Amino acid sequence: MLNTILASFYERDLRRLIDEINAFQNEENLWKTAGAVANSSGNLALHLIGGLNYLIGTNLAHTGYIRNRDLEFTQKGVQKAALIAGIEQLIPIITKTLNALTPEQMQSEYPIMFDDAKNSNSYVLVQLLAHLNYHLGQVNYLRRILE
């Protein structure tokens, strides 16, 4: 049951991220920062795309995605449409993967260390959703300040 609840929350919040990116009227502002936020909205979107593709896609769905975490924070100027496409591609991967998890699998150990410890899949999935929402808030904050 937790798996299906999380799947719906991930889809909802990834769609909110798409809405935030679409709300940028000046595409250049996706790559600007303001205040104490060190990363641009574009880089936060790339970070979420890369992190979720790796942490859910590779480690739970076995997609084979190879992450380049450094590039998530250094790459600039990716078009808005490409960011949105990357997020859109995540939604079915996450939804299908989470909906297929049994209660036993949710409590099973996540395949790699996470938060410097061995944790359950459910722990990791809840933590990743919280992380998504943290960055979603930053994107919203930056958009409102810059535009």
**Cβ contact 78:42 at 8 Å:** yes
What value does the mean pLDDT of the chain take? 97
Question: What pLDDT sits at residue 37?
Answer: 82
Residue carrying structure tokens 């995540």: 90
Q: The whole model's pTM is what?
A: 0.96
Question: What pLDDT sits at residue 36?
Answer: 85
CA-closest candidate to residue 1, choices 106, 124, 123, 133: 106
Domains (range + CATH), the chain: 2-146 (1.20.120.450)
pLDDT band at 35 (very low <50, low <70, confident <90, very high): confident
CA-closest candidate to residue 106, choices 97, 93, 114: 97
Angle, helices 2-23 vs 121-146, to 10°: value is: 20
Tokens of 58: 């590779």
